[in-house]
Structure 1
Amino acid sequence: MQIKELARATGVDVETIRFYEKEGLLPEPARLDNGYRNYAQPQLERLSFIRHCRALDMPLADVKRLLGFVDDPQGHCLNVDALVDDQLSRVRARLKSMRALEKQLLQLRSRCNGEHGDAGPCGILDELVSAAHGEACACHPEQ
């Protein structure tokens, strides 16, 4: 299959496929007589694996390590476990950060009483302007 067909089959755009080849994540396929890349089932499966890992928000360096384990599966289970544990730690840290962000936005949103419609001062904008002046605001009371 040509690169367009591989892209369509995996949901990965053509430029990303070329990037993965350049980075060594996806081996370059054989070429047809006309110079076109000729992808086969192994490339489709490998690209699907990469896409799944990226959907789990794994960094490319970790995806590359996982592919190395796939290529040589002898006794790497502990290494794979550690890699996934590291990713889980990163996700948990982001979740904590997102919860803090949600709290800040809720505090900011509470400054709007919604009674003015289009007229009158906007409590949210007042808070954001105050913050821009270096003053405390509802979402960052301790500056």
Structure 2
Amino acid sequence: MSSQLTIGKLAGATGTKVETIRYYEQIGLLPAPARSASNYRTYDAAHLRRLSFIRRARDLGFSIDQVRELMGLADRRDRSCMAVDVIANQHRDAITRKIADLTALASELDSLIDSCSRNTVADCRILEALAPAPLNAVG
């Protein structure tokens, strides 16, 4: 791979959309690249590594702020990794809470679906649960 990459090649190498790369530059996650004589962005291996890091962290569901924090910690390699552990544990805990919420939601929907008599819409328990007052009574 060439030492200089266009934005398109960087996007292809990382599986990131060009618009997303520009956004990461705009918010300071990715440093501004050098410009060629014809004013095209030119990226180097450091950009590729950094964008790969950002992409992987985002794929794992870390927020932009968490990615920013993690990158700041990664840039100071002599520090304890306890701060990284704290961020990762907080993120995992949030995921665990979301899973519990989604599981409860699925259970509630299962109950509604099981209560459906599959007759007419007028007798539909699902619609009744969504709008306890008859929809045609609103007015």
Task: Compute the TM-score of the two structures, normalised by the length of structure 2.
Answer: 0.84
Any conservation in 2 of the 1:112–1:122 contact (CA below 8 Å)? Answer: no
| Displacement after TM superposition at 1:131 (Å) | 2.5
Taking the aligned partners of 1:133 and 1:6, their CA distance within structure 2 comes to 50
TM superposition shift of 1:111? 2.8
Q: What is the deviation of 1:132?
A: 3.7
Query: Does residue 40 of the first structure (1) align with residue 38 of the second (2)?
Result: no
Q: Does 1:90 align with 2:94?
A: yes
Structure 1 SS opposite 2:124: helix
The equivalent of 2:113 in structure 1 is 109
From 8, 12, 33, the equivalent of 1:8 is 12
Per the alignment, residue 120 of structure 2 pairs with 121
Q: How many residues are aligned here?
A: 129
Aligned to 2:27: 23
Q: Give how far 1:122 is off.
A: 5.2
Distance in 1 (alpha carbons) for counterparts of 2:125 and 2:55:
41
Partner of 2:137: none
How does the TM-score come out when normalised to structure 1?
Answer: 0.82
The separation in 1 between residues aligned to 2:42 and 2:127, in whole angstroms, is 57
SS at match of 1:58: coil
CA distance in 1, matches of 2:131, 2:45: 59
| 2:77 counterpart residue number | 73
Task: Give the corresponding residue for 1:141.
Answer: none
How far residue 112 of structure 1 moved from its aligned partner, in angstroms, is 4.0
Contact map agreement 2:113 2:126 (CA 8 A) in 1: no
Between the aligned partners of 1:134 and 1:122, the Cα distance in structure 2 is: 14
**Cα deviation, residue 134, structure 1:** 2.9
Q: Deviations over 1:15-38 (max 9, x none)?
A: 110111111110011110000000
What stretches of structure 1 of length at least 5 have no aligned partner?
A: 136-143
CA distance in 1, matches of 2:44, 2:22: 15
